[in-house]
Amino acid sequence: MNPKHHDIDRLCVDTIRTLSMDAVEAAGSGHPGTPMALAPVVYTLWQRFMRYDPADPLWPGRDRFVLSAGHASMLIYSVLHLAAVKDVASDGRVGERPAVSLDDIKQFRQLESRCAGHPEFGLTTGVETTTGPLGQGVATSVGMAIAGRWTAAQFDRPGFEMFGYDVIALAGDGDVMEGISYEAASLAGHLKLSNLCWIYDSNDITIEGNTDITFTEDVTARFEACGWRVGHVSDANDLDALEAALDEFRRTDDRPTLIIVKSHIAYGAPNKQDSSSAHGAALGEKEVRLTKRAYGWPEDSQFLIPDGVMEHFASGPGARGRELSEDWRSRFKSYRAEHSDLADAFVRMRGRKLPAGWDRDLKTYEPGSKGVATRTASSDVLNQLGERIPWILGGSADLAPSNKSLLTFEGAGELTAETPGGRNIRFGVREHSMFAIANGLTLSGLRGYGATYLVFSDYARPAIRLAALMGLPTIHIFTHDSISVGEDGPTHQPIEQLASLRAMPDLIVLRPADANETVDAWRVVMALRDEPVALVLSRQNLPVIDCDRCAAPQVGRGAYILADCVGTPDVILIGTGSEVALCVTAHDRLVDDGVASRVVSMPSWELFERQAPAYRDAVLPPEVRARVTVEAGAVFGWERYAGPTGEIIGMRGFGESAPADDLTQKFGFTVEGVLAAARRQIRL
């Protein structure tokens, strides 16, 4: 059955609209307004513009579409269904099942549906990144665009210009208001990312009402000041104007593009051009019927896909994408014949596989009086790994000399507008967008990393959380990990950050005790394929633990016996990071006094909890109740390892501005403090 008086374009657009209305109505929740208003935009983008093969959704040469306005998720679910995008299994194989079936759409926002309330990477094939928190999608798209240019710079060769791609993100007023979007846009303009386009739906509506109550800035002027080319489409329903604006984006080779599109939310019903209620709620049966009548649609129809709609999509993105992807794969065979090493590296990178010998002969450190800061050891091993694994790249939020996060080996280079194949990204003071951009790098097959002080992980939390939610092995390097920051004071001294990061599901937190544990921590980091990591490092020099007297590092086990006694210990000292050395010295003193003492280094709670119960009980025997935990951070959570009667040495308030030695004395992070706590435990 076909609605009357529709040309094929209008028929397809209205199909997207009515699928969105029906899905939201069936769910009883969701946002129908924006999908209805922007259906022409997404239709034009997929039908006329994007290089995308629905039969091969992970084809490397595809353009990336990011729905940053994730509340409009029915837009992407509708087009994934209508374009007949195939599902890709966890092993990377393309199956026959559709990525989004009509039954999936009917289960919009329901338990275990592929059509979640906001698009989720890994749940639904065709969703390039998880969006929802406003601004995250556009910021992540900057990382994808950087990765596209970097990949082309690294792998393209004369006659084989085939590894770049364009990134198109659809943003709303909320995305543009969020501060992260300014950070990301500023860096994108600085880097002249001409393969990046944001389409800004300027509909003048947010949940609270018209945007003029909060948002009256000149968006065009803002983006032009950031170095973007800005285009305008005065009516979202003008398909030809949309196509012309997208074509102009593709012709622009010296800056990113913003296309400002004017739309009317919940467009459709007679005399109803605007509705803030439709932004976040179902329209209601009466309004749905009126809207369908305005479209010339059967009023009683549900989830109707008229004859010819899917065939039209098949003749557009289906046929065009198939031709493009087949041509790409044909050329890749020739490329592999002429540039086998590069081709093998590209395939390995995309599969998250490491080169042979990647961790061979990593630097080791000998005990000495001076000690080594774990940030310094991290820098050493990062550079060794960077030479061996060419797709590691990232940078710091204007703190590279302090974080020691630069890749300094010969040929690493700076990533700039003129040198897009460099390995060092200067993010500037932009912590929030830095880690979202790093997620974009990692989503594109690279190993992205960012670095800042641990206390500023709070600025980066939404992006870290999304990395964990998506299962991305993004690397988060955090230095200046305790009150030993010293004179910079409590604004720069992290207290609750370790506990906060440990509370996040699916994030691995590593706080190594010395230089050699840091090297071993990097082995763990690089072996991760579907989990992010927070690597927490010291500013100050730490003693290098003597492996001839103590155990070799076993970071991969999360916790291990570093120094021990014969038989069952009288007391167990448990530490992380810089405090482990205090435990070792206290242990030596206890042994001299005839006390059976054990030291457990616990660089990662998460990895320790994954070990078999027998191993955990061997490290921390349940019958040994005399325990002392030592960490220069919040005490929150340590009761699980201290036990009901153990003593926790940690921070119960904020720090102070003073030299580091004075602070460690005041707050009890001393050998004497550990000894006193151990003796109290033994007397219990």
Residues contacting residue 139 through CB under 8 Å, at least 6 positions apart: 180, 181, 183, 184, 432, 433, 436, 437, 440, 463
Q: Which of 431, 517, 579, 647 is catalytic?
A: 431
Give the Cα separation of 99 and 76 in Å (integer): 11
Whether 490 and 666 have beta carbons less than 8 Å apart is answered as: no
- pLDDT for the residue numbered 274: 40
The domain at 372-542 falls in which architecture? 3-Layer(aba) Sandwich (3.40)
Q: What is the pLDDT of residue 90?
A: 86
How far apart CA 546 and CA 370 sit, in angstroms, is 13
pLDDT score of 321: 96
Three-state secondary structure call for residue 586? helix
pLDDT digits (tens, 9 = 90+) for 365-401: 999 878 999 999 999 999 999 999 999 999 999 999 9
**pLDDT value at residue 267:** 39
Of 90-94, 161-165, 624-628, 634-638, the least confident: 90-94
Q: What is the mean pLDDT of residues 596-607?
A: 98
Q: What is the rounded average pLDDT for all residues in the chain? A: 94
* CB-based contact 191:417 (threshold 8 Å): yes
Strands (E), 565-672: 571-575, 597-601, 627-634, 647-651
- Whether 192 and 221 have beta carbons less than 8 Å apart is answered as no
For residue 228, pLDDT over 70 is answered with yes
Buried b / exposed e across 390-408, counting CB within 10 Å, b at 16+? bbbbbbbbbbbeebbbbbe
User: What is the mean predicted confidence (pLDDT) over 92-115?
Assistant: 95
Q: Name the residue with tokens 């009890």.
A: 668
The crossing angle, in degrees rounded to 10, of helices 179-190 and 136-155 is: 20
pLDDT score at 273:
40
Distance of CA 553 to the CA centre of its chain: 29
Q: 326: Cβ–Cβ under 8 A, 6 or more apart, which residues?
A: none
Give me the architecture of the 8-134+165-323 domain, per CATH: 3-Layer(aba) Sandwich (3.40)
Are the C-beta atoms of 18 and 54 separated by less than 8 Å? Answer: no
pLDDT at residue 198 greater than cutoff 90: yes
Question: Nearest-CA neighbor of 475 among 490, 460, 488, 496?
Answer: 460
Identify whether the C-beta of residue 536 lies closer than 8 Å to the C-beta of residue 510: yes
The model's pLDDT over 11-49, given as tens digits with 9 standing for 90+, comes to 999 999 999 999 999 999 998 889 999 999 999 999 999
pLDDT score for 3 = 73
What is the spatial distance between Cα 265 and Cα 206, in angstroms, rounded to a whole number?
10
CA 523 to chain centre: 21
Catalytic-residue membership of 287: no
pLDDT at residue 208, rounded to an integer? 66
pLDDT of residue 266: 53
**Structure confidence at residue 207 as a pLDDT band (50, 70, 90):** low
CA max distance for the chain: 95
Confidence (pLDDT) at 277:
41
pLDDT (tens digit per residue) in 299-319: 999 999 999 999 999 999 999
CATH fold match for the domains 8-134+165-323 and 372-542 = yes
At residue 462, the pLDDT reads 96
- Residues forming a β-bridge with 479: 453
Strand, coil or helix: what is 508? strand
pLDDT at residue 139 is higher than 60: yes
**Angstrom distance (rounded) from CA 513 to CA 371:** 12
- Write out the CATH class of domain 557-683: alpha beta
Which among 260, 128, 130 is positioned nearest to 204, based on CA atoms? Answer: 260
Q: What residues does 534 pair with on adjacent strands? A: 476, 509
CA 61 to chain CA mean position, Å: 22
Q: Quick one: how far is CA 74 from the chain centroid?
A: 23
- Mapping DSSP to helix (H, G, I), strand (E, B) and coil, where does residue 62 land? coil
Dist CA 308 CA 593 (whole Å): 87
Do residues 13 and 39 touch, judged by C-beta distance below 8 A? Answer: yes
Question: Backbone phi, then psi, for 627, in 5-degree steps?
Answer: -140, 145
Residue type, 595: V
Q: Give the residue among 546, 639, 500, 50 at the shortest CA–CA distance from 320.
A: 50
507 to 124, 474, 531, 544: CA distances (angstroms): 22, 10, 6, 27
Residue 74 has pLDDT above 90, yes or no: yes
Share of the chain above pLDDT 90, in %: 89
**pTM for the full model?**
0.95
Q: In the structure, what pLDDT confidence band is assigned to residue 206 with cuts at 50, 70 and 90?
A: low
Is 5 a residue whose pLDDT tops 70? Answer: no
pLDDT band at 264 (very low <50, low <70, confident <90, very high): confident
What mean pLDDT do residues 321-328 have? 97
Confidence of residue 215 (pLDDT cuts 50, 70, 90): confident
Do the Cβ atoms of 541 and 373 come closer than 8 Å? yes
The per-residue b/e assignment along 231-259, b for 16 or more CB within 10 angstroms, e otherwise, is bebeebbbbebbbebbeebeebeebbbbb
Cβ–Cβ < 8 Å for 600, 562: yes
Q: What is the DSSP string of 65-105?
A: EEESSGGGHHHHHHHHHHTTPEEE-TTS-EEEEESS-HHHH
The one-letter amino acid code at 393 reads: L
Please give the DSSP secondary-structure letter assigned to residue 170. Answer: E
pLDDT exceeds 90 at position 253? yes
pLDDT level of residue 205 (50, 70, 90 thresholds): low
The continuous run of DSSP H or E covering 372 comes out as strand 372-373
H-run or E-run covering 147: helix 136-155
Apex 78 CA angle, 73 and 84, nearest 5: 130
Contact in structure between 604 and 558 (CB atoms under 8 Å): yes
List the domain boundaries for the chain: 8-134+165-323, 372-542, 557-683
Q: How confident is the model at residue 4 (pLDDT cuts 50, 70, 90)?
A: low
Q: Check whether 278 has a pLDDT greater than 50.
A: no
How much is the average pLDDT of 78-103? Answer: 95
pLDDT at site 548: 82
Residue 175 is predicted with a pLDDT of 94
Q: Please return the burial class of 386, using the count of CB atoms within 10 Å of its CB with bins 0-12, 13-18 and 19+.
A: buried
What does the chain come to in residues? Answer: 684
Over residues 466-509, the pLDDT tens digits come to: 999 999 999 999 999 999 999 999 999 999 999 999 999 999 99
Token pair 């005065």 is found at: 234
**pLDDT for res 216:** 80
**Side-chain-side CA neighbours of residue 374 (13 Å):** 31
